Amino acid sequence: EIKVCVVGLGYVGLPLLKLIIEKGFFAIGLDIDKQKVDKILKEGIAVTTRPDEALNNADCIIVCVPTPIDESYRPDLKFVISAMRTVSKYLKNDSIVILESTVAPGTTEEIAARILGESGFKAGVDFYVAHCPERIDPGNKKWTVRNIPRVVGGINKQSTNIAYAFYVEILNSEVIKMSTVKAAEAVKIVENTFRDVNIAFVNELAKSFDKIGIDTVEVIKGASTKPFGFMAHYPGCGVGGHCIAIDPYYLIEKAEKSGFNHKFLKLAREIN
């Protein structure tokens, strides 16, 4: 029997933990928020604030902690770093650590796996590391944690294969293997920047059409009658929530560090 530990029990981690338990795994959740843990315990779900209890002998550790931005719109990885430090203290041979939090391409390997390697075990050899970005849309009844297709990418082939086998076991959806962990990380950022950019586009149209005297929604509905090559997005008050307004900054910063200036993504952020 394998032991699964979900680290971070928010919008992403808690539904995942419930699903893993439902699928018959021995699973436990870990969170640093005592109030949250006490509330979940009342539902009869095994959760704790004690890393030793949660992580000792865990075979599969799934990290779902926040990845916000700071006041200067810079990615803030402090939760990922502290969670990985905690996990590294309890790491054992042949275990797998899967990061579900949204991160910039390179983070799983360059930051998560490196911190885990401080345990003395060698990433990709003694233990495995993968990224499987969460796509949950809280409140959506049709698309849930169990039926949204997922992509997985590991730091090496074994990591990808082990993570893939785990998600195939717990999900009623397609699981797609990516060739690299960076590609899996990029998938999630692309999905959310796609929405940001398209919404910025229609928001800009709305301002221009207002001046010209055209009904933007009518035009978008008209354009939607074309059965190919157009996808309707509607103007609104911008974008919000945990993801769309934040994730583009992860790619903007990563690209900047790699010598590329994402003008388009920055403009979308400015408009929205």
Ligand X SMILES: NC(=O)c1ccc[n+]([C@@H]2O[C@H](COP(=O)([O-])OP(=O)(O)OC[C@H]3O[C@@H](n4cnc5c(N)ncnc54)[C@H](O)[C@@H]3O)[C@@H](O)[C@H]2O)c1
| Of the residues 31, 109, 185, 196, which one makes contact with ligand X according to CB under 6 A | 31
User: H helices within the chain, ranges in order?
Assistant: 13-22, 34-41, 51-55, 78-90, 107, 114-117, 157-170, 181-212, 216-223, 247-257, 263-271
Nearer to ligand X, 64 or 200 (CB): 64
Kindly report the number of other CB atoms within 10 A of residue 219's CB atom. Answer: 14
Site string for ligand X, 195-234 (x = CB under 6 A): ----------------------------------------
Binding part of the chain for ligand X, among 59-67, 123-131, 145-153, 206-214 by CB under 6 A, reads 59-67
Is the four-CA dihedral 210, 211, 214, 219 of positive or negative sign?
negative
Q: Residue number with the shortest CB distance to ligand X?
A: 10
DSSP 73-105: S-B--HHHHHHHHHHHHH--TT-EEEE-S---T
Site string for ligand X, 34-53 (x = CB under 6 A): --x-----------------
Is 132 among the catalytic positions? no
Binding part of the chain for ligand X, among 10-18, 104-112, 174-182, 196-204 by CB under 6 A, reads 10-18
| Of the residues 65, 97, 170, 186, which one makes contact with ligand X according to CB under 6 A | 65
15 touches ligand X (CB under 6 A):
no
Question: What amino acid is encoded at 164 in this protein?
Answer: Y
Alpha-carbon span 77 to 145, nearest angstrom: 24
Provide the minimum distance between the beta carbon of 13 and ligand X in the complex, in angstroms, as a whole number.
6
Describe the crossing of helices 247-257 and 181-212 by its angle, rounded to 10 degrees.
110
Question: Cβ distance 147 to 173 under 8 Å?
Answer: yes
Q: Which residues contact 266 (CB under 8 A, 6 or more apart)?
A: 252
Binding part of the chain for ligand X, among 18-26, 61-69, 168-176, 231-239 by CB under 6 A, reads 61-69
88 touches ligand X (CB under 6 A):
no
Binding part of the chain for ligand X, among 17-25, 133-141, 212-220, 254-262 by CB under 6 A, reads 133-141
Q: Which of residues 90-119 bind ligand X (CB under 6 A)?
A: 101-102
CA-CA-CA-CA dihedral for 36, 184, 264, 80, to nearest 10: 30
242 touches ligand X (CB under 6 A):
yes
Judged on CB neighbours under 10 Å (0-12, 13-18, 19+), 225 is: exposed
187 touches ligand X (CB under 6 A):
no
Nearer to ligand X, 6 or 123 (CB): 6
13 touches ligand X (CB under 6 A):
yes
Backbone phi, psi, residue 196, to 5° = -60, -45
| Of the residues 22, 23, 33, 53, which one makes contact with ligand X according to CB under 6 A | 33
Question: Cβ distance 154 to 161 under 8 Å?
Answer: yes
Q: Which residues bind ligand X (CB under 6 A)?
A: 7-13, 30-33, 36, 64-67, 79, 82-83, 86, 101-102, 134-136, 138, 242-243
- What amino acid positions are annotated as catalytic residues? 243
